[in-house]
Amino acid sequence: MHIKFVGTFSLVHTIAYTILFAVSLFASTTAGKNHNPIAFSDLSQHPIYSKYKFTKGDTIVNFGTQPLYLPTGLITEAMRRDKILYKSLSELGIQINFYPLLKGDDINFFLKQGNLDAGIGGDMPAITAAATLDIVIPSLIQQGFTSIVANRSILIENLKNKPVGYAFGSNAHYALLNAFLSEGLTEQQILLIPMDTTEMPDALHSGRILAFSAWEPTPTITLNKYPESVIIHRTLSSGFLYFLRSITERNPEIIHHILAAKIRAINWIQSSREHLLLTSKWALDAARELSDSDISISIEENAELAKKDILRFSSAPIIPENELTRNGSLFREFEFLQNINIIPPTIEWKRVYESFDRRIIIDVLTNPEKFQFHEFQYSSIAINN
């Protein structure tokens, strides 16, 4: 497979906010009201999610995952099979259940409903959760790219007045509008079409949209299924693992053991190609259970994409302190979310900033023997759910 790049291309396009971007987004605040799919549906009635039975209680931790969000799908599918994790939590009197979902906004929905206690989300969903819920964000779990994919070679500026698919409030949404800004376009000059990532490849091919913005593996799936498609822009993004703060009140060791399972999963996946391919298969199997769409990507391709993300690091990355400053990319994304009415304007950055707690992952990383980073006991099937 050959990935083509045309037009404006930037590896890191989260440049400092300009006055123009702030003004243009503020002027188009109706976007938050008109384009948010959540406003028009109750996810508890979703054809897949409605089958989930969310067991609740002080001895239960319900964890939302995203199998189609690389490389987190590989990591969390390993965690679902980690006998050490289940044993460690059982000794604390805790049972953990995993629930696969399609995107970070879906995880936030069920967090708000009280059905989930923890989850995986890109920086945009994580910031939204921090601003609207009482959560703690201790760890990175993804650091890769979102891409804008078009149905043919086209410059960003030529998307003016054309239909473009996106997942509302996601990393890819932010990347899309930032790319428009780089070409002097505002949100009002693009026809934005909200949709799930699983819909995007076929919507692009059918002509319903001319382009879309999404995270891996959706861009690669699209190029495989429809080779005429072209990646025209890429943006670096991050993802996080986050918890309701009430878990720390129950027992802070719960979060420690879940973070340890994440580190252990990364170590195990990195230890051999066999493990990498196996977790890639697990993630794709879980993703196919969530979607009626054809997921046109091989186990090997999925694995190679995952290797280019957080799995490329030799040790578990810690959230950079400079990302949390008022000049950092997370603060700029917070402002963006306020400008499109996802986060109320009355919410202060301090609330979001105080949700990030790097000390928790550092405490875990400094105790490798206690948390058994290099002891691997994985079941061939998911232990719960």
Encode pLDDT of 164-196 as tens digits: 999 987 889 989 998 998 899 988 999 999 999
Question: What whole-number distance in Å separates Cα of residue 262 and Cα of residue 58?
Answer: 22
CB 10 within 8 A of CB 233: yes
Q: Where are the alpha helices (DSSP H) in 161-292?
A: 171-182, 200-206, 218-225, 246-250, 252-271, 273-290
* Beta bridge partner(s), residue 192: 164
CA distances from 77 to 168, 260, 328, 362, 381 (A): 26, 15, 31, 23, 9
Q: How confident is the model at residue 339 (pLDDT cuts 50, 70, 90)?
A: confident
pLDDT at 29: 33
Burial 156-193 (b: 16+ CB within 10 A, else e): beebeeebbbbbbbbbbbbbbbbbbbebebbbebbebb
CATH number for the region 43-142+240-365 comes to 3.40.190.10
pLDDT digits (tens, 9 = 90+) for 342-365: 899 999 999 999 999 999 999 999
> Cα(first)–Cα(last) distance of the chain, in Å?
35
The answer to whether 19-39+145-238 and 43-142+240-365 have equal CATH topology is yes
Averaged pLDDT for residues 360-381: 95
pLDDT for residue 34: 36
Mean pLDDT score across all residues of the chain: 87
Q: Judge whether residue 15 has pLDDT over 70.
A: no
Query: pLDDT tens digit string along 275-332?
Result: 999 999 999 999 999 887 778 899 999 999 999 887 787 666 789 888 899 989 899 9
- Give residue 385's pLDDT band: very low, low, confident or very high (50, 70, 90): low
The predicted pLDDT at position 311 comes to: 78
* Residues 271, 314: Cα–Cα separation, whole Å: 11
Residue 304, exposed/middle/buried by CB under 10 A (0-12, 13-18, 19+)?
middle
pLDDT digits (tens, 9 = 90+) for 224-239: 999 999 999 999 889 9
Give the per-residue pLDDT at 322. 87
Point out which residues pair with 163 in neighbouring strands. Answer: 191
The C-alpha atoms of residue 84 and residue 278 are separated, in whole angstroms, by 19
Residue 162 — very low, low, confident or very high, per pLDDT cuts 50/70/90?
A: very high
Tell me whether strands 230-244 and 118-122 are parallel, antiparallel or unpaired. antiparallel
Query: 317 and 310 in contact (C-beta within 8 Å)?
Result: yes
How many percent of the chain have pLDDT more than 70?
A: 88
pLDDT band for position 21 (50/70/90)? very low
Residue 41's pLDDT band (cuts 50, 70, 90): low
- Quote the pTM value: 0.84
- Return the percentage of the chain with pLDDT > 90, whole number: 69
Q: What is the CATH number of domain 19-39+145-238?
A: 3.40.190.10
What is the C-alpha to C-alpha distance for residues 142 and 149, in angstroms, rounded to an integer? 21
Does residue 39 have a pLDDT over 70? no
Q: Domain extents for the chain?
A: 19-39+145-238, 43-142+240-365
Both tokens of 195, joined, read: 């949709």
What amino acid is encoded at 203 in this protein? A
Asked if the model's pLDDT at residue 26 lies above 90, the reply is no
Contacts of 350 (CB under 8 A, 6+ apart): none
Q: Which residue has the tokens 């996810």?
A: 43
272 pLDDT band, cuts 50/70/90, is very high
